[in-house]
Structure 1
Amino acid sequence: MEDEKMNHNTSPANGYSAVDSALSLSKETKWAGSPVQFEFFEHVEFPVDALPETLARMTDQVSDVTQTSVDAAGAVILSMISVAAARKFIVRLVEGEGWVEKNNLYVLIAMPSGERKSAIYSHLSKPVIEFERMIENPLFRTEHGIRVQRYITDDVTPQALIQQLSENDERMALLSTEGGLFDNLNHKHYGNQAKLDVFLRAFTGDRMVIDRKNTSKIILNDPTLTMCIFVQPSVLQALPDRYTGQGFMGRFLYVLPPSKRGHRTTEIKSIPTDLFQSYRELIHHIMKFEPAAPVELALTLEALNKLQEFREWFEIKLRDGEELSHDFLRSWSERIPGQIVRIASLLHVSEQAMFGMPFDDSFERKISEETMNKAIALGNYFIAHAKAAFGCFKSNLEIEDAKYLLEVLKRKQIQKYKRQELWSTVKGKFGTAEKFDSALIILAERGFLRADITKSLRGRNGMSIECHPDLIDRVVEVIPPHTKPKTEQEG
């Protein structure tokens, strides 16, 4: 399910519809759980031991050499396996027509400037870039049956990506350390629904038929895109609503690594040659494999049972009022069981490749319970980081305004308000009704309040606002930001 994200445009022409869309949804929600807190994220470290040995050692080494957390290195390594294995394997969970999962990933790593993301990417993408250069030799391509001309793109428009997919066996990897994709999509000619289609469909492999004036028809039967993009957190804050509303951002696995600045060692280190060679051989072994059709993987009965246990536990987290039922997380969380299956397939393939096992009839096609447990551990990691990313989809100023309004509600300890009564209390802080409404919307999306929309645009001040019961009996002193304490004379 891809629920549309609320439109947060609160201009006079659209103000009531924005409040209506956010708060009326909240009204329909029973108080079935606690609100999503602003400071609920405690960093969960990437579970390195979930990776096959060579990849785990490489993750630790790159983290040590670059003096960065293991989070970014681990996420990039998963992405590189996805680049190498894309469209070569699928997972069929039940026989016949049913749930089939691909293995390409969309990964987004949010790191501030100066956090050595280019060094991380350079170390771990090197085998893929080397292989891309190797296939420039026609004899090499012929010897290994390679059907593509290239693997990687970076600064690309949606139209150019469609063309690249059509010329490269319908697979491509968008790898970037600067997040230029979002600059391109923010362009007025590229950011609409039609231009997002290729990114939406290339995740799931949905068929595309492109008919354009003055160009030949392009048919993509199974477009497959892998993405690994580094962005600064401010990029997430500036994203237009349409990206979350159409499910685009709901396709990404999010990583928010902690900074080690100020705590890094200054010793100059290097990755052991034998380890890097093992990593290179693993990546190249998968890249050389070119099946005529994707190899079908399956789950052992034990692995399937583990996945089902996770899904049953996770389904409860999706109920109205639970953390994952709110706003952006609602769309994102629907995909996490499938993401776990994708990760399990990548772990399985890389485990086989680590020992140089040929991908022939002797290749083990069933994913084990142990591998599924590791994939679930990684899934839980990505759930924690998606919650943190949810807090980034608003500007700092909007978030701070919402926090201030929340503290006012906690201090006043009143269950229900008329909008005008609450506005009168805080208008000195907010200044404009639009800022006030934006704060109301954020609190409603997080489940802190709900409203009875019974008035027309002109009668919006009569709106009834109800606070979540958790806010009652939580008295907190509120000091408006940027205000000076009163002197005794002023008091």
Structure 2
Amino acid sequence: MIETESMIPSGDAVSEILKFLQAIYGETEGYTYIWLLKKKKTLWRPLSNLRDMAESAVRFGHSQDIYFPVCPQVKALTENERGTLVSVHSMTCFYCDFDCQGGNHKQKNLPTFEEVWEWLMSLPYPPSIILFTGGGIHCYWLFDKPWIFESNDDRQKAQETSRLWQKRFIRDFAKRGWKLDNTSDLTRVLRLPGTMNCKGDTPIPVQILTFEPERRYDIHQLVDMPMEGELNSRDCRDNRDGIEHMIFDRCAFLRHCRDDAGTLAEPEWYAAISILARLFKGVDMVHQISQPYPNYDRHETDRKILHAMNDAGPATCHRIRNEFPGYCTECREQVKSPVVLVNPSKSLSSSDNWGQIVPFNGDYELPEFPVDVFPGWLRDTVEAEAIALQVPMGLPGMIALSILSTAVAGKAEIELRPGWKESLNLWVIAAMDPGNRKSKTFSNLVRPLAQWEFEKQKEVTPLVKQAESMKKLKEGQINKLQTDAVKAKNTETAEELAMKAASIACEIEDMGIPSLPKLYLDDHTQEKLVIAMSEQGGRIAILSSEAGLFGLIEGRYTQSGGPNLDVYLKAFSGDPLRVDRIGRPSIQIDKPLLTIGVSVQPDALRGLLDVPHFRGRGLLGRFAYAIPKSFVGYRKIDAPSVPESVKAAYQAGMTRLLNLPLSNSPGVIQLSQDANQIFREFEQTIEYYLRPFGKLSGIIDWGAKLCGLTGRIAGLLHLADNSFSSEPWHVPLSGNTMQAATKLSM
């Protein structure tokens, strides 16, 4: 007897599918469907009626390939539509599709069924459900509770988590020489047990091999699952190149650039370079796919790579669709650039698309420094210095921020909303290994400060000499009066002379001696720092290409040997500072403002996390960080020097900012209506990311200060953009400037 689609399904088959679906979905709400591959039709069913779905699956699944969505949808769509990412309701499990030898697969480097089974059984957390599909194995790791999505940010985070979960499997398979496709997308459809795999000449039943629905896991338990024989970090880096090549499997445009390299047009090649060069061993990959081109030249290719790395970022999917149509038609990846397909931690500097937050003690791929946020005179300088010294834009870019802060801190502040004002002193760290020309970059960019300081000291020196001479004269008068008082023959005369001496002493106290203008320190002790801030009206900067600053903060030069953070913390926020000194007058600073711009080695940066109190008291959370990618080994030997016109414009721009008036009442920068709206949205986004399990939940100490930091950056960009004004704080901060600040922060 031949069964037809109109016949009543058998009870056993329906029960098997029903128990499977109940285990996958649990009591989750929403909709699911059966997708008929042959007819390209979708049969939608509510999760409240899984029995009807099971019956439909048996009815259709004996004679054609059918699939179901692992993640349920919020609503039912039409019969011509499958689920979409934006309408996924929840995620109830991790899942993976393992292709094996013997199925209808084109790939040759596949494991056998036995090898996959042995590998699965070696995992510390085995799957809850395993299916044999005829061409491979489908596995499910059930969660102890569903991950229900409240927003698209939740969906993106879940997709990212799922992708990273499978990436560990892909990495381990690649180490063994096996191919494993990433099937982690939330719209993934897989086969149902009790149906048939009809892709080959002979249909093969899809069967349950193991079914243990009571075996459920906390999602964090799975994410942190230790894998037997898992590679250490160095081994992972050595074996990532095979994984990175999988980008060609997942991006039709890049596959075209590789396969048609011999006839590839220049714009297509350059777009591909901007993506591939940012991957692990990406430079080698670019050379490999470029060699079929008839005019291939290694040195010219290296030059193009360097230029592409200094661009704003990798080519986006939007650009590829518009400029090179035809390759993205069937893409289902839901990403903004192909670079994240094998590198999901890569951020595209968008306020709604943060990548994975990566720790200092791990591998990192970070977005390029967005030099376009600067006004022309400063942008030109950063770009020219980067090219001349063959360093990434992030190094001169971050140093430029600290130079801006040094020039204007204390002269203005920004009001982000009524009652919330931020000073414009900034703390900046650019971390790079030795040999990356950090000292030279600092030296070139700090030159206008040094020149201004030298000229002002020349102006003030005569006044200092005059005051010192007058002080010595009055001290001599005091000494003579005191001597005469001692020799006086009667008490009345002695008291009169003593009173005159005291009066002159008060004159000396009131007179004071002008301090030579000083903008920044390099080598210092904490006491020297406090004295310098006191002498300079509370304003001083620490600008250095070395990491000695943190040894001083840690307390290397204090008698107790422990961290003494109050001076630094108060000098960031501008809180009143009082330092008592044994045997000497106390120092009182009403509003200390310390700017920090340092370039350290990544190892030193990682070491800061181990210093007691550095993170707990919020010291590390106050810094803006950049870890630019090193160009060492790929630098151009005869790079063009910085044009004199660019140097002159930079000198003039910084001098204008340095000459802005300094008073006891700093100017207040107000937000325009557009800037206010942009900042409100940014602030709301950050607040959401600070929730438990949010993108910033692991670095709340830094994330909680990010809005204030962004406000400070906006204020600096505003003053730089309006440097020709004698009172730029009277100009409202524009929406474009606030957008630039949020772009730089993200």
TM over 0.5: yes
Once the two structures are superposed, the pairs formed by residues 237-386 of structure 1 within 5 Å of their partners are 237-239=606-608, 240-292=611-663, 293-326=665-698, 329-353=699-723, 356-359=724-727, 364-380=730-746
For 1:68 and 1:315, how far apart are their aligned partners in 2?
35
* Cα distance change, pair 339–247 in 1 and its aligned pair in 2 (3 A): same
SS of residue paired to 1:112 = coil
Judged with a 3 Å threshold, the aligned counterparts in structure 2 of structure 1 residues 273 and 188 are, in CA distance, closer, same or farther, namely: closer
Structure-1 residue corresponding to 2:386: 63
Work out whether 1:76 is the aligned partner of 2:447.
no
Quick check: 1:175 aligned with 2:175?
Answer: no
Q: Does 1:154 align with 2:477?
A: no
Task: Provide the C-alpha distance between the structure 1 equivalents of 2:462 and 2:669, rounded to a whole number of angstroms.
Answer: 26
Equivalent pair of 1:92/1:296 in contact (CA under 8 Å): yes
Amino acid at match of 1:224: L
Letter in 2 for 1:217: S
Correspondence list, 1:401-440, <5 A = none
Whichever residue aligns with residue 417 of structure 2, its letter is V
Could you tell me which residue of structure 2 aligns to residue 164 of structure 1?
Answer: 532
Structure 1 equivalent of residue 233 of structure 2: none
For 2:636 and 2:606, locate their aligned partners in 1 and report how far apart those are by CA, in whole Å: 32
Counterparts of 1:352 and 1:147, CA distance in 2: 30
Is 1:134–1:140's contact at 8 Å kept on the other side of the alignment? no
Q: How far did 1:140 drift? A: 9.2
Q: Any conservation in 1 of the 2:555–2:562 contact (CA below 8 Å)?
A: no
Higher CA-based Rg = 2
- Whether the 8 Å CA contact 1:87–1:102 is kept in 2: the answer is yes
**Percent sequence identity over aligned pairs:** 30
Q: Which residue of 2 aligns with 1:15?
A: none
Deviations, residues 44-83 of structure 1 (Å, cap 9, x unaligned)? 0010111111111111100000001000111111111111
Cα distance in 2 for partners of 1:106, 1:42 equals: 22
1:320 to partner: Cα distance: 0.9
Correspondences of 1:452-471 after superposition (within 5 Å): none
Q: In 2, distance between residues paired with 1:58 and 1:235? A: 28
Match of 2:597 among 228, 241, 263: 228
Distance 2:375 2:458 in 1: 31
Task: Tell me by how many angstroms 1:93 deviates.
Answer: 2.8
Structure-1 separation of matches of 2:604 and 2:542: 17
Distance 1:319 1:351, change over 3 A: same
Give secondary structure in 2 for the equivalent of 1:216: strand
Mean Cα deviation higher: 152-161 or 76-85: 152-161
Q: Secondary structure at the match of 2:584?
A: coil
Offset at residue 365 of structure 1 (A)? 2.8
Q: Is this contact kept in 2: 1:158–1:196, CA < 8 A?
A: no
Query: Which has the larger displacement, 80-89 or 228-237?
Result: 228-237
Q: Is the partner of 1:137 in helix, strand or coil?
A: helix
Question: What SS does the corresponding residue of 1:243 show, helix, strand or coil?
Answer: coil
Q: Describe the shift of the 1:65–1:169 C-alpha distance in structure 2 as closer, same or farther (beyond 3 A).
A: same
**Structure 1 residue 268 displacement after superposition:** 4.2
Gaps of 5+ in 2: 1-145, 148-153, 162-219, 221-356, 464-513
Cα offset for 1:90?
0.7
Give, in angstroms, the shift of residue 242 of structure 1: 1.8
Distance 1:351 1:270 in 2: 25
The range that moved more, 63-72 or 234-243, is 234-243
**Deviation readout 1:200-256 (Å, 9 max, x if unpaired):** 111110111222221102111110011000111111232213211111111110010
Trace 1:124-203 onto structure 2 (pairs within 5 A).
124-138=445-459, 149-190=517-558, 195-203=564-572
The alpha-carbon distance between structure 1 residues 63 and 37, as it changes in their structure 2 partners (threshold 3 A), is closer
SS across alignment from 2:618 = coil
Query: How far apart are residue 318 of structure 1 and its match?
Result: 0.6
List aligned pairs for 1:7-86, cutoff 5 A.
Answer: 41-86=364-409
1:27 corresponding residue in structure 2? none
| Change beyond 3 A, Cα 1:47–1:37 | closer
**Could you tell me how far 1:195 is from its partner in structure 2?**
2.2
Tell me, yes or no, if structure 1 residue 107 matches structure 2 residue 107: no
How far did 1:302 drift?
1.3
Structure 1 residue 180 displacement after superposition: 1.2
Q: Report the Cα offset of residue 198 of structure 1.
A: 1.1
Aligned residue for 2:123?
none
- The answer for the alignment partner of 1:383 in structure 2 is none
- AA aligned to 2:632 is R
Shift of 1:322: 2.1
8 Å contact kept, 1:92–1:298: yes
Change (3 A) 1:370 1:158: same
**Residues in 2 aligned to 1:134 and 1:314: alpha-carbon distance in whole angstroms:** 44
User: In structure 2, do the counterparts of structure 1 residues 285 and 313 end up closer, same or farther at CA, with 3 Å as the change threshold?
Assistant: same
Following superposition, the deviation at residue 273 of structure 1 comes to 0.7
- Amino acid corresponding to residue 71 of structure 1 in structure 2: G
Q: Mark the CA change 1:261 to 1:83 in structure 2 (over 3 Å): closer, same or farther.
A: same
- The 8 Å contact of residues 208 and 219 in structure 1, kept in 2 or not, is answered as yes
Is the CA contact (8 Å cut-off) linking 2:553 and 2:563 kept in structure 1?
no
Question: Are 1:121 and 2:491 matched, yes or no?
Answer: no
The residue number in structure 2 matching 1:439 is none
Q: CA shift at 1:107, angstroms?
A: 0.2
CA contact (8 A) 1:148 1:169 kept: no
- The 1-side partners of 2:738 and 2:379 are apart by 17
Question: Whole-Å Cα distance in 1 between the matches of residues 445 and 459 of structure 2?
Answer: 26
SS at match of 1:101: strand
Give yes or no for contact 1:60–1:70 (8 Å, CA) kept in 2: yes
Distance in 2, matches of 1:177 and 1:251, equals 19
Shift of 1:41: 3.7
Query: Deviation digits for residues 420-477 of structure 1, max 9, x if unmatched?
Result: xxxxxxxxxxxxxxxxxxxxxxxxxxxxxxxxxxxxxxxxxxxxxxxxxxxxxxxxxx
Alignment match, 2:579: 210
Contact 2:389–2:639 (Cα < 8 Å) also in 1: no
Q: In the TM superposition, what whole-angstrom CA distance separates every residue of 1:332-391 from its partner, at most 9, and x where no partner exists? A: 1111101111111111111111xx22227xx643101111001110111xxxxxxxxxxx
**1: CA distance, partners of 2:628 / 2:669:** 32
**1:147–1:169 Cα contact (<8 Å) kept:** no
Q: Aligned-residue CA RMSD in angstroms? A: 2.4
CA contact (8 A) 1:151 1:172 kept: yes
Change (3 A) 1:268 1:305: closer
* In structure 2, distance between residues paired with 1:322 and 1:232: 29
Q: Report the residue type matching 1:109 in the other structure.
A: A
CA 1:325/1:40 → structure 2, altered by over 3 Å: closer, same or farther? farther
Instruction: State TM-score, norm by structure 1.
Output: 0.65
Match of 2:491 in 1: none
Distance in 2 separating the partners of 1:147 and 1:303: 39
Counterpart Cα distance in 1 of 2:636 and 2:574:
44
* Alignment partners' CA distance in 1, 2:520 and 2:556: 25
Secondary structure at 1:195 match in 2: coil
- Equivalenced residue count is 340
| 1:106–1:252 contact (8 Å) kept in structure 2 | yes
Contact 2:403 2:446 in 1 (8 A): yes
Secondary structure at the counterpart of residue 43 of structure 1: coil
Contact 2:555/2:563 (<8 A) preserved: no
